[in-house]
Structure 1
């Protein structure tokens, strides 16, 4: 196996010059750099191992990410943003699935820390409010959390503006002529679900519209939950003319349930979702929804970690990305009654 000494001999330079060219630690003229690189190529020099370099610079060029399993492709789209951003910055990503289990989450964090990852991204919103004591023993490892509520440990935070998103969704239904508007929420113990519900209530109150308790149902952010919530609402009696559904997966379940009941969307019932997952535009009808910048969420998480690694920031950051409305075919425009 070729060494820097072999390259130096072939290129006619000192070993230290070879080191500066390969590690980019000092300016070397273009002519000498070319000789060194050509010699390295000729000798099939592969360079020091990643592990050996990491001991020198105290970096492994690896990030860890914890995510909770869900059938919701939202998570996969965020992971794609994380993965692509890692690749573009020369980092590797180790992905761990917690499956919503507290013990598994703690064991995964311990495993990642033992592998000497440079930073951690947590996307386990079902575990919000958890105290994770292990972080106290690794104060130099930066942590970014995503889609999470109040935290009991120090970290930066990336989130979408769910309050504004819920408000925008409901306001669009009101602007479309609807006054009887229901809401199917996610689990209200979760911060993002609560904020989307608060946005719904704010828009309803501003428009002086009445709330019907039969039209407000808490669910679980999954297809089955949306299906069951609609069936419960349907059995309660008269349906509203429109429903704000707190994510696209539940909206998919509602569309399926409505079809079984002979209710046409949007002619009989208008639906607006949240997230704008990739398949939303392929639903039947194509789903009007609130676009959450999933790829950008993942990208921002990596950028924030790398910035903290490269600078001595003391204050934690909260980076909030803004949602946008995507109109398709699941909301009927009603004539206004003057």
Structure 2
């Protein structure tokens, strides 16, 4: 691979002159600039990103840790991250934790060895895990996406899960439903517990009683929704409507209901959460709570780059607001 010394030899100038021409750090005559650029072209010279990063103490590379999931939600967020990194001239290194805390720590170590400028974490399955590796790098910029409380000081991007749970339940109530159940996510995770809290608050505000037989806990995956339906069915009569705390579980539950001959929404109304792209193409299309996934990814990148520019600025908690998307999985009852 050609070096600046090779270019200098061919162009018959000093190495420092080559550096000034290629990095545009000092004026040189038009003739010399032309000779240097021609020599660089003939030698197929490519600047060393490693050398530049060591000199500038900036690699223009960020790392991202994400948990493996069949949920397209993560892929849609990642698309927003990748697009924003490209727009800002940054490279992205993606690591998959597979929900394992040891693998997460090993991945963080690897990313630090790659000298990434900062990290983004979207590993909510590991909520509550102690990440002692950060204690060794107190100045490392970190943005946490969609995660619960953590001891390490970091910027955070989150959705208003309580509001989303409230919106979903209120929509069912506004459509005349009074017998309403909920399929939660794992309640040790902040997102799941906050959505369930929003559900309970909406019932309370409308003087409706929470029926424990209509509550089932899932795992935020399709099989969790499928199994939750079976549990609800065996606990007694089904409610008229269910708030299912993410779209993947809603898809699994609808599949189980269809196998039982339960028609959606005539026999059972369903509202989901996340608004993954698939939900508009199933039959019936799923009424759901929209999370701004591309915005989540874009905001995470912008927040990380802002932290790189202003390392001493106060830590930020940025909350993105959910919205209701009405489709065809909720039937409207006549309200007397």
Q: State the TM-score, normalized to the length of structure 2.
A: 0.91
Match of 1:311 in 2: 310
| Contact 1:21/1:36 (<8 A) preserved | no
Please state how far the C-alpha of 1:314 moved relative to its aligned partner. Answer: 3.2
Instruction: Say yes or no: does 1:23 pair with 2:23.
Output: yes
| Contact 1:63/1:91 (<8 A) preserved | yes
Match of 1:78 in 2: 77
Instruction: Say yes or no: does 1:124 pair with 2:123.
Output: yes
CA deviations 1:150-178 (Å, max 9, x no partner) are: 10111111111111111111111111111
Match of 1:301 in 2: 300
In structure 1, stretches of 5+ residues that fail to align are none
Please state how far the C-alpha of 1:22 moved relative to its aligned partner. Answer: 3.6
Instruction: Say yes or no: does 1:197 pair with 2:170.
Output: no
Query: Which runs of structure 2 are paired with 1:1-338 in the superposition (5 Å)?
Result: 1=2, 3=4, 6=7, 19-20=19-20, 22-23=22-23, 25=25, 39=38, 42-43=41-42, 46-337=45-336
In structure 2, relative to structure 1, the CA distance for the partners of 1:23 and 1:197 (3 Å cut) is farther
| Contact 1:7/1:39 (<8 A) preserved | no
| Contact 2:21/2:33 (<8 A) preserved | no
**Partner SS for 2:64:** strand
Please state how far the C-alpha of 1:19 moved relative to its aligned partner. Answer: 4.0
**Partner SS for 2:63:** strand
* Alignment RMSD: 2.5
The whole-number CA distance in structure 1 between the counterparts of 2:32 and 2:259 is: 70
| Contact 1:146/1:157 (<8 A) preserved | yes
Please state how far the C-alpha of 1:46 moved relative to its aligned partner. Answer: 3.4
**Partner SS for 2:272:** strand
**Partner SS for 2:82:** helix
Please state how far the C-alpha of 1:261 moved relative to its aligned partner. Answer: 1.0
CA deviations 1:58-108 (Å, max 9, x no partner) are: 112211111111111111111111122122222221111111111111111
**Partner SS for 1:75:** helix
| Contact 1:223/1:252 (<8 A) preserved | yes
The whole-number CA distance in structure 2 between the counterparts of 1:254 and 1:34 is: 68
| Contact 1:80/1:298 (<8 A) preserved | yes
Please state how far the C-alpha of 1:32 moved relative to its aligned partner. Answer: 9.1
The whole-number CA distance in structure 1 between the counterparts of 2:197 and 2:35 is: 63
Aligned pairs, how many?
335
| Contact 2:8/2:14 (<8 A) preserved | no
In structure 2, stretches of 5+ residues that fail to align are none
In structure 2, relative to structure 1, the CA distance for the partners of 1:3 and 1:41 (3 Å cut) is closer
Q: State the TM-score, normalized to the length of structure 1.
A: 0.91
**Partner SS for 1:279:** helix
The whole-number CA distance in structure 2 between the counterparts of 1:7 and 1:88 is: 34
In structure 2, relative to structure 1, the CA distance for the partners of 1:9 and 1:176 (3 Å cut) is same
